[in-house]
Amino acid sequence: MSDLPRKAVTRTAKLAALPLGFAGRSAWGLGKRIGGYSADLVGHELQQRTAEQLFKVLGELKGGAMKFGQALSVFESALPEEIAGPYRATLTKLQEAAPPMPTSTVHSVLAERLGEEWRDLFETFEDKPAAAASIGQVHRGVWHDGRAVAVKVQYPGAGEALISDLAQLGRFARLLGPLIPGMDIKPLIAELRDRVTEELDYGLEAQAQRAYAAEFADDPDVLIPDVVHQGEQVLVTEWLDGIPLAEVIAEGDEAERDRAGQLLARFLFCGTARTGLLHADPHPGNFRLVPEESADGGPARWRLGVMDFGTVDRLPEGLPPTIGTALRMTLDGEADAVYGLLCEEGFVKDSIELDPAEVLDYLIPIIEPARADSFEFSRGWMREQAARIADPRSPAHQLGKQLNLPPSYLLIHRVTLSTIGVLCQLGATVRMRDELESWVPGFAADGGEETAEVAETTA
């Protein structure tokens, strides 16, 4: 494979094989059951085969296919355990690795974008990639000034592949439903498609990363590697060591999981408040747990290392105050005020009329982590919420279908939901309310004047 498989007909055929393959394996499973095999055995093998094909196709194609796979991977917490097991290993592989492009292609891109003497910029450059992601792969090197660096090289044809993949995935989104039961695939694909152009622009990525690195310089909790050099399809940043979050999920002890979870929640909210930018790609492959040596020789303190600023939402005023105000009102049981605010912001369309008490009942379980002093996120809790909303027989499902998500909240919603998915994978106990009170406008109890004013005008 010289680079991304770029021919539309080739990529379309491979992507079309996903739902067709699922249908074929279902027929194969039925045949085995008729032949006397147990339903449990056949079901487990069916899921394993589907998971293996999912990783193989999405990983090989990279581009939008792999981006879609990475987005799915953070939602595995919502799956029933008997389904999640076979998927978990293969989906999470998409967070850290994919088949690499050949060394000759890497060298060609570097020569074209950095000049024929590109090697003079480095003391050393490792041809074997350290990581391969959806639109580029990362190589480790040492810059000419002695700094250890990560060199991100964009795949040739990445733009064409991204657009083609997401368009094709959108056409048969309904058929992909069995891959993640209970999840609405189509809006996810549409939102990813909207972000394509920005993610391909390494200039925008460098700008966002520099802003974060400057704001979090010397921060005791969050570590952002700085940008060293940026070209059209090449981005060089400081190297970030540490334990990949996927490893913490798989093997970390309770203290590591809790620390990672607390810092992840903090970064979700404080990053936007401090920079006016929302880091919008919160899958575990973009985070590290980094030990910070203690000055007094005591135990190392962990910081959260954050990478990949290719997808950001620009929110110069921070998160909309509506979010914090609505959360606080919901916790306080102010059904009429919450409903009025949701109507005002477009979450309830003018043509729809709902019972405020039923809306409150729908919201309260979702925001349970904000109620307690600390909350233990778990796959069980995530599955419970997913099942409540996905079950067509449940009142929550019927009400949820009538709610609307305004476009300005779409990315915020996905990032928050994805972050919660990762917290559930970690099984972390997190003081979520502390972070909301510190960083989300309108949530803090002492901001009651604003909350009360909004309540009076919307009740």
Could you report the per-residue pLDDT of 381-415, keeping only the tens digit for each? 988 887 888 777 888 888 988 888 887 887 898 88
Distance CA 142, CA 125 (A): 7
| Residue 304 CA from chain centroid, whole number | 16
- Average pLDDT value over all residues in the chain: 78
The full set of domain ranges for the chain reads 321-458
Could you report the per-residue pLDDT of 278-324, keeping only the tens digit for each? 999 888 889 999 998 766 665 568 999 999 998 899 999 999 999 99
Residues 6+ apart with CB under 8 A from 46: 25, 26, 28, 29
Top mean pLDDT of 81-85, 127-131, 189-193, 239-243 is at 239-243
Residues 6+ apart with CB under 8 A from 248: 256, 257, 260, 289, 426
Q: How far is CA 454 from CA 193, 242, 254, 289, 442, in A?
A: 35, 45, 41, 40, 10
Backbone angles phi, psi at 276, to 5 degrees: 75, 15
- Distance in angstroms between the alpha carbons of the first and the last residue of the chain: 61
Distance CA 416, CA 265 (A): 9
CA angle 382, 385, 389 (to 5 degrees): 140
Residues 6+ apart with CB under 8 A from 342: 326, 348, 359, 403
Encoding tokens for residue 69? 């796979």
Q: Which of 386, 403, 392, 390 is nearest to 339 (CA)?
A: 403
Instruction: Give 26's pLDDT tier (boundaries 50, 70, 90).
Output: very low
Could you report the per-residue pLDDT of 118-154, keeping only the tens digit for each? 999 999 999 999 887 667 889 999 999 999 999 999 8
Q: Do residues 2 and 101 make contact, with C-beta atoms less than 8 angstroms apart?
A: yes
Residue 425 confidence (pLDDT): 92
Could you report the per-residue pLDDT of 153-211, keeping only the tens digit for each? 988 877 666 666 666 666 555 555 544 544 556 666 666 666 667 778 899 999 999 99
